[in-house]
Structure 1
Amino acid sequence: MKHTLRTLAVAAAAVLALSGCTDSDAGGSAAPSDGGGELTPITVGLMPVADTAALYLGESLGYFEDAGLDLTIETATGGAAIAPAVVAGDYQFGFSNMLSLMVANEKGLGLKSVSAAVATTGDTSADMGAVIVTADSPIQSPADLAGKKISSNTVGNINEVVTRAAIDAAGGDGSTAEFVEVAFPDTIAAVENGQVDAGFVVEPFVTAALEAGDRVVSYAYAEFDDSLDIASYFTTAAYADENPEIVEAFQQAMAKSLKAAQDDSDAVRDIIGTYTKTDAEVLAKMVLPKYPSEIDRDAAAKLGDDAVKYGALTAAPDLDALLP
């Protein structure tokens, strides 16, 4: 089974250029094999973080092959980079944060979520995503982030909206924060070198930051909504209409993968160690997300409303068009 893991920089550049870095025959209209026949090739674009562990785990357990799919994984820095490649047909499916999908559809890209992916734990004292600062930073609460420079893996995505909401909830002015793009693996260094005042990271980088002596100033996902879906797997509405059997096969494989990840945290930690450079101590301590079976519509609506409030969207998203 194909399993391509490029470096983040190279993959991101390739995605943004829409250079056709995947097999041009991948994800054709042929139906998946029902066993014993030729597998249908698909390519999925994602980020190599704890959020995507369920798909990697499902691949290792053979769930995609069982569904008649020959899976290739391509990596990038975020949903804003992955979505254009899915639209261009270079990838058949992608992983993206929920807000980037809403923004893409507002721009007319016609994307469709087909599977849940990852959600907050809902624990405001230890979650899988956080805003970090250095140990000696004067920033002590989310309110202190007002007017500060904060990094996110992609500007204008879910991390920005939930952080602005956390600042407002703590009594600050979230609209005054400045967001800049820094890839998750580079965020700890950017914070410690003073390139930014604070940085938004997800696991395994949250635990890596704590191990390095940095502090968490906000678990912004959990503070925003205890059932917030961070991201989902998606395709284009056109591809879903034209290839219903392939989409159904992907959904079946993902349903098994998400259940396996939710049920076996040790397997999740082990699989994360195969596609990230994370040492054993961090793997053992990191906070794992929830791997839900369904997307929480109410939390998605709340995210859309706040995205309008902070200018990421001009109108509330059409969740009927976006969600499964």
Structure 2
Amino acid sequence: MCGAVAVSLGLTGCAADSGATTTEAGITEISLTSQPNETGFAQWLADELGYYEDNGLDVDIEYASSGPAALAAGSAGDWQAGWTGGPPALTGWDKFELISVGTQLREDTNLILFISADALEGSSPAEVLAAEPVATVANSTSSQMLFACAESLGVSDENLEVVPLDPPGVIQAMQAGRVVAGTGFSSPNWPLVSSDEYVQVCNGAEAGTAIVDPWIVTKSFWEQQPEAAAAFVDASYRAASYINQNPDKAVEHLLDFYEEVGVEGSREQAAYALSVREWLSLEEAVQAADNGATEDAMQGTADFFVDQGVYLTSPDVPGMVTQGREVLEAATEYRQRNRP
């Protein structure tokens, strides 16, 4: 409903203008939202390789500190497309009909529960989790993975003592010995991954919980400039396919991305970060939308947040996926017309 407000984020229910502009030469100028980590790499790569330019787009990528931090700007039309992460995308759909187009990537194996090797001497992972505080990012897919891993190991929610920290704080707390268990994702978790002092005891895939990040476009951008929205989606998935088809070259590009966004990372770290993320092609994203995989993953995240009291009720995930499927279809038709 236009004028509705999300009190916690200050989101308005509608944006009258998409904020995109088209030049006399027919180039559409848009702003994209992203974050300075590897999940934002495909979007940066699409710009670096000229895929957006090929599709008549002139893009400006704005890096937010987090997905929630980007939402208010999106509702005001300050950006038209990009990615925010799964939970902010759900909130955006619920509050101002932000469209999750389709799965950008799967992060099941990227979200990992670590326990120090010393703590596991003479104890099982379940015994450690039941007896020791566990650091994680509150109200996040990391915490979703943690609770799923605990359940798979036979530890009930009631027996988990969670210490809420930001992603770097989790790693620092483990390195300092303030906690012996914590969650992490690449590349902040590299100090744990690269050390034999920590054991990877579980990840999302092993716990049987699917976690995805979708591409997003604002409702006003899709309604007012559907051709440009389809062009964005096509180019973004084209970059994802490049990553899958050119892993060695992708590492080189990722190192350039690190330098541009201010991330310190080695070649080994970059290769690892790419290996634990599964980017989808446009065709695979369509299949995931049609076979229920995208809806199941997003609904699982929504249900977790309802269980945790973050949402009072679940957003309309089926409706979100149905709307996104229309954009995927437009992107498919765009590709067929322009690169048959």
TM-score normalized with structure 2 length: 0.73
181 and 207 in structure 1: CA distance in 2 versus 1, 3 angstrom threshold: closer
214 and 321 in structure 1: CA distance in 2 versus 1, 3 angstrom threshold: farther
Q: Size of the alignment, in residue pairs? A: 289
1:298 is the counterpart of 2:312: no
* Pairwise CA distance, 1:264: 1.9
Mapped to 1, the partners of 2:92 and 2:178 lie a distance apart of 29
1:257 is the counterpart of 2:239: yes
Tell me if structure 2 keeps the 8 A contact 1:166–1:174: no
Tell me if structure 2 keeps the 8 A contact 1:144–1:172: no
1:267 is the counterpart of 2:236: no
Tell me the equivalent position of 2:128.
144
Mapped to 2, the partners of 1:17 and 1:301 lie a distance apart of 24
Tell me the equivalent position of 2:149.
166
* Pairwise CA distance, 1:31: 4.8
Mapped to 2, the partners of 1:266 and 1:104 lie a distance apart of 35
Alpha-carbon deviations, 1:137-190, whole Å to 9, x = none?
A: 4585256335624132xx312221221121122111235442523134x54223
Tell me if structure 2 keeps the 8 A contact 1:32–1:249: no
Tell me if structure 2 keeps the 8 A contact 1:104–1:110: yes
* Pairwise CA distance, 1:17: 10
Tell me the equivalent position of 2:105.
118
Letter in 2 for 1:151: T
Mapped to 2, the partners of 1:314 and 1:113 lie a distance apart of 21
Mapped to 1, the partners of 2:140 and 2:147 lie a distance apart of 11
2:225 maps to which of 236, 240, 243: 243
Equivalent residue runs for 1:66-85 within 5 Å: 66-85=54-73
* Pairwise CA distance, 1:63: 0.5
* Pairwise CA distance, 1:284: 3.8
Letter in 1 for 2:183: F
3-state SS of the aligned residue for 1:128? coil
- Of Structure 1 and Structure 2, which has the larger fraction of its residues in helix? 2
Tell me if structure 1 keeps the 8 A contact 2:141–2:211: no
50 and 56 in structure 1: CA distance in 2 versus 1, 3 angstrom threshold: same
3-state SS of the aligned residue for 1:316? coil
Alpha-carbon deviations, 1:202-225, whole Å to 9, x = none?
A: 223344422144424444321344
Equivalent residue runs for 1:134-283 within 5 Å: 134-137=116-119, 140-141=124-125, 144-146=128-130, 148-152=133-137, 155-175=138-158, 176-184=160-168, 186-225=169-208, 228-274=210-256, 275=258, 276-283=263-270
TM-score normalized with structure 1 length: 0.76
199 and 94 in structure 1: CA distance in 2 versus 1, 3 angstrom threshold: farther
Mapped to 1, the partners of 2:124 and 2:62 lie a distance apart of 38
* Pairwise CA distance, 1:54: 1.7
Bigger CA radius of gyration: 2
3-state SS of the aligned residue for 2:83? strand
* Pairwise CA distance, 1:303: 3.0
3-state SS of the aligned residue for 1:209? helix
Letter in 1 for 2:150: I
Identity among equivalent pairs (%): 22
Tell me the equivalent position of 1:28.
19
Structure 1, unpaired ranges of 5+: 1-15, 19-25
Structure 2, unpaired ranges of 5+: 1-8, 12-16, 289-293, 325-340
3-state SS of the aligned residue for 2:70? helix
74 and 145 in structure 1: CA distance in 2 versus 1, 3 angstrom threshold: farther
Tell me if structure 1 keeps the 8 A contact 2:167–2:188: no
